[in-house]
Amino acid sequence: MRARHFLHPLRVSLVSLALLVALPAEAREISAQEAVARVQQETQGKVLSVQTLTQGKRKVYRIKVLTREGLVRVVQVPAES
């Protein structure tokens, strides 16, 4: 009698998941201009200032926006997306 070789579906899923987790994500760093464009689109406001900050090992853009309602909002956008 011939042995049947097959993988259990759950094992295949777990192996696939482990491979996805193990592979490094191709993270791309966005520019300050890209971050500003995202915030402008999201808030429909006027950008007042942009700062590049370092929080730990991460770069973050701190963008101050004047909203349509006349409020000043501060939005932080991670550089790595």
The amino acid at 22: A
| CA distance linking residue 75 with residue 32, whole number of Å | 13
| CA distance linking residue 72 with residue 76, whole number of Å | 13
Q: Kindly report the pTM of this predicted structure.
A: 0.64
CA nearest neighbour of 66 among 75, 54, 79: 75
pLDDT by residue (tens digit) across 2-19? 555 444 444 444 344 444
Cα 64 from chain centre = 19
pLDDT by residue (tens digit) across 14-72? 344 444 444 455 678 999 999 999 999 999 999 999 999 999 999 999 999 999 999 99
